[in-house]
Structure 1
Amino acid sequence: MTTTQDFGTYGVWRGVTGIDDAFAQATERLGFGALWVGGSPSGDLEAVERILDATETLTVATGIVNIWKDAATDVAASFRRIEERHPGRFVLGIGSGHREATPERVKPLSAMREYVSVLETEGLQKEQMLLAALGDKTLAFSAERTLGAHPYLTVPAHTAHARTVLGDALLAPELKVVVNADRDEARAIARSYLKGYFGLRNYVGALVRFGIDPDDIASGGSDAVIDKVAANPTAAAAVAGAREHLDAGADHVSLQVLGEDPIGSLEQIAEETGR
């Protein structure tokens, strides 16, 4: 079974279309404990299988499979196929997406409960699943029925609160980072990427709840907000940003590197962490 320790302290988060064999192998070579496959990968999990085939020991997790896109029975069958080939190296992360992008998203927590129940019936164990979670009810459910929670686009204050809700369950927030010698350019890269996310109510609501001024988000992201959710411009700043989440109670932080040279940035971050 996958445990908290299998994730390591630092991982890498990247959209599924941006992960090729070279990127996966670099993540493993540089000593990061886990590679999170984002961008709502398909429920056939072929992308996950390809990454596992290309690596040897790396833990792979989805961040996340969208429950509205693929039936739980189909996803469970994909999971069993992968578990047979790569036992103990894959954790299925699932989530309910965003109301703006998914019109059928009604009563997401109830839908998540039903989805997890089907996965359990199909043979998945608690330690083989985790949830995208921001609100208290979803966080509590993730601790009750899965390995834990993978919050996306949060601040350390949210991490500290999430720890009180989760107890001993896995807490693995995501943090965007930009390694670029020019701080203004680093902020511009992050601001461009975050533009769409700042239009999603679940993320904005969580940020505001934990201390971000709505006006700072409405303006496209003030420098202070950008620096908080996308640590920049150096590898040292990226590690310091991750350390804020770890100090607040995270077990593991998945770093999403933005910019034109993600492997180069990861190399600098790995060096900074002593890997």
Structure 2
Amino acid sequence: MTVDLGRVGIWQNWRQVNVELAAAVEQLGYGAIWLGSSPPGDLRIVEDLLDATSTVTLATGIVNMWREDAATVAASYHRVSSKHPGRFLLGVGIGHPESTEAYQRPYDKMVSYLDQLDQAGVPVQERVLAALGPRVLRLSGERSAGAHPYLTTPEHTKQAHEILGEGPLLAPEHKVVMETDPALARGIGRPAVQNPYLGLSNYLNNLRRLGYTDADFADGGSDRLIDALVLQGDAVTIARGITAHFNAGADHVAIQALTAEGGDPLPTYRALADALGLG
């Protein structure tokens, strides 16, 4: 891969990332900022954040293939990458069937979209694919630099690494809450998991493959499920949970800091940067 993500990055809804947060995260030593929740295909937010920083990599996690046509995304990729070579990783994916009326034959859609990116000259090594299940994980290793799984666990990372093998990038996301009281931590983490992910079939199917059942999905998610999907505790404890992904085969982990409504995620990222030895 020609883009350096470093070992650890942050993952935030693209609407919540401004130049001040990007600059602070860069100073803390994070290697990448993943812009989540389907950023627009014009990639203006990526360009603005790259303009305001000097070393951190920007990645999309992910541009939705159903909402943004490949030609537009490819043109935006070339504009951004020519201005900031080696600092942008294009993450693409198919989103969720529940939120897309035209959602049909998703695997074929991914293949067709990747074909169009090829034709438009978007390098394989500067794009990644959102992937959870075995078939799409294999596709991500064959047609892109690798996989960006979302809402997963170290157990999934181990399985994904076995499917991808050595070479392709494996960059999972993991949510965290900096709170040592389990009840308070779950009170922050559970709504972020329940809405929307416990209503989306692709995530439920992946969690079932990991051994979770309908009982775990009821009432906003069992404590067992929430604790697996949202790391909680002090910085050292959370850092240990992030390290479990590396032990399972991850190349990079994107940390998503959850807070109480209106809270600032930066203190969490600052504490974890110290605990993980960044900078």
Q: TM-score range by the shorter chain?
A: over 0.9
1:38-84 Cα shifts (integer Å, max 9, x gaps): 01000000011111111101111100000011110011000110011
Q: 1:273: which partner in 2?
A: 276
TM-score (norm 1): 0.96
Distance in 2 of aligned mates of 1:211 and 1:250: 21
Equivalent pairs, count: 273
1:85-128 Cα shifts (integer Å, max 9, x gaps): 10110010000000111121111111011111111111111111
Q: Which deviates the most, 195-204 or 37-46? A: 195-204
Shift of the alpha carbon at 1:181? Answer: 4.2
Q: Which amino acid aligns with 1:273?
A: L
Q: Which amino acid aligns with 1:166?
A: L
Q: Which amino acid aligns with 2:103?
A: R
Unmatched 5+ stretches in structure 1: none
* 3-state secondary structure, aligned to 1:251: coil
Q: 1:216: which partner in 2?
A: 216
1:212-238 Cα shifts (integer Å, max 9, x gaps): 232112231122211111000221222
Contact 2:33 2:58 (C-alpha < 8 Å) held by counterparts: yes
Contact 2:180 2:232 (C-alpha < 8 Å) held by counterparts: no
1:159-198 Cα shifts (integer Å, max 9, x gaps): 1111111112000000000012433111110001111211
Q: 1:264: which partner in 2?
A: 267
Q: What percent identity do the matched residue pairs reach?
A: 45
Q: 1:159: which partner in 2?
A: 157
Distance in 2 of aligned mates of 1:198 and 1:241: 22
Q: 1:94: which partner in 2?
A: 92
TM-score (norm 2): 0.95
Trace 1:77-226 onto structure 2 (pairs within 5 A): 77-167=75-165, 168-196=167-195, 197-226=197-226
Distance in 2 of aligned mates of 1:157 and 1:115: 29
Distance in 1 of aligned mates of 2:157 and 2:180: 29
Contact 1:178 1:190 (C-alpha < 8 Å) held by counterparts: yes
Distance in 2 of aligned mates of 1:102 and 1:193: 21
1:6-45 Cα shifts (integer Å, max 9, x gaps): 1111110000011001111111111011110001000000
Unmatched 5+ stretches in structure 2: none
Q: Is structure 2 residue 60 aligned with structure 1 residue 62? A: yes
Distance in 1 of aligned mates of 2:64 and 2:214: 27
Q: Which amino acid aligns with 1:137?
A: R
Contact 2:5 2:31 (C-alpha < 8 Å) held by counterparts: yes
Q: Which amino acid aligns with 1:274?
A: G
Contact 1:195 1:220 (C-alpha < 8 Å) held by counterparts: yes
Contact 1:189 1:258 (C-alpha < 8 Å) held by counterparts: yes
Q: 1:73: which partner in 2?
A: 71
Distance in 1 of aligned mates of 2:37 and 2:106: 19
Q: Which deviates the most, 152-161 or 213-222? A: 213-222
Q: Which amino acid aligns with 1:120?
A: D
CA RMSD between the two structures:
1.1
Distance in 1 of aligned mates of 2:142 and 2:258: 33
* 3-state secondary structure, aligned to 2:98: coil
Shift of the alpha carbon at 1:256? Answer: 0.3
Distance in 2 of aligned mates of 1:273 and 1:154: 20
Contact 1:228 1:241 (C-alpha < 8 Å) held by counterparts: no
